[in-house]
A = this chain, B = another copy of it.
Amino acid sequence: MEKVVMKFGGTSVADEGRIQQAASIIIEEVQRGKQVAVVVSAMGKTTDQLLALAEGMNGNAEDRELDMLLSTGEQVTASLLAMAIAGRGIEAKSFTGWQAGVITESLHGNARIEEVNAEKISQWLASGGVAVIAGFQGMDEQGELMTLGRGGSDTSAVAVAIAIQAGACDIYTDVEGVFTTDPRLIKDASKLSEISYDEMLELANLGAGVLHPRAIEVAKNHQLPLRVRPAHTEGQGTIIKEVFQMENVQVVRGIAFEDDIVRLTIIYDTPNNGSLANVFTTLAENHINVDIIVQTIMDEERPSVSFSIKNDDLAQTLEVLEKEKAKLAYKKSDFEVGLAKVSIVGSGMVSNPGVAGEMFDALSKAEIPVKMVSTSEIKISVVVPSVNMDEAVAVLHKQFALQLAV
């Protein structure tokens, strides 16, 4: 019998009405003859409310206690959804993460799933019942409750799907699927009917935000098809799976963008490769995420390196650089705010070397200055002034004919 995992995020179970709606969607799948395991997030703002309570107790609460507190949120949703399903005559049981056999490493607040012992769930599914599993959580070998960190419920869903050997994992969201770019910005953005894991990974990492990169990685490793589906309409969403290239495949599949980027440049007055590594090690130790890195060796005796960070991290970055100046042995630093990143993504790029040229040409014709460039096999990112971000997205969406994408 076909097995499927259905995942409902916080907005899709935000209140009684949404939970009943989720129950309807689940029952339809059951009535199609499938074995259904469901993974849920906490209701809407529950996690934020619990965090506010914690803040009132102790501004610096231990991660262990936050895990004890927050893991109740998904347990509440799971039991309520199981009740809603059972109320319509379909057998359903809720399971905490540990009851579902989700074993994690011991890292409070950000644990990775090590394995899923799915016997209990599989037995229940085989008996004809719906399993409703609290996402975002598991237990370590010592019996301590762990949460999985951002995007954890997506990862729970994928891990459960692999453990029960489901044919697919459907991620229900409040959008119609994965689009060529944000439809709020570009009116004729198209919904993609399918996209490869790698493309989705790049789009997810670039902030397209419907699915967590960790979940995509795990799904890719096990070749588990993912489907991003709307919880509020009959739309078929977007399937994420291994896509094999045809000759006439669309080269660029989507455009991601992100505002509030800062470029930092560090200039040395002597050649010093050791220091260069030191910069990024030091920033990493201070939990500052560096994105694009460009090393320019205009003058071999006076190398410089530029990198992009988020606006929010600027003050701390400058502080760290100043404090470590002696150790890092640089001459001076410089920064530029008011920047944004725009990226084109597509597996076809690897065999189409002209794409970068086409991108720069289009931006140049629109008189949009390019401050930094970064390329991978399936992605080209440019840093442009924030004021030009929207236009850059529009220009590129049109240039690569994404309004016609499927």
Contacts and interface: CB of A to CB of B under 8 A. Distances in A.
A274 interface: no
A58 to B, nearest CB: 3
Given A16-B56, A16-B57, A50-B76, A83 B99 contact: no
Contact of A69 (B50, B80, B143): B80
A54 B87 CA distance: 11
Contacts of A84: 57-58
B83 A20 contact: no
Contact of A53 (B16, B69, B87, B120): B16
A353 interface: no
Interface string A75-89: 110111111101100
The dominant DSSP class at the A interface is helix
A350 interface: no
Given A56-B16, A57-B16, A78 B68 contact: yes
Contacts of A54: 79-80, 83
Contacts of A96: 68, 145
A57 B83 contact: yes
Interface residues on A, range: 35 or more
Interface string A49-63: 010011011111110
A324 interface: no
12 contacts: A16-B56, A20-B57, A57-B87, A58-B84, A59-B87, A62-B83, A65-B86, A65-B93, A68-B78, A68-B96, A69-B76, A120-B143
Contacts of A58: 83-84, 86-87
B65 A82 contact: yes
A19 interface: yes
A53 B42 CA distance: 14
Interface in A94-127: 94, 96, 99, 120
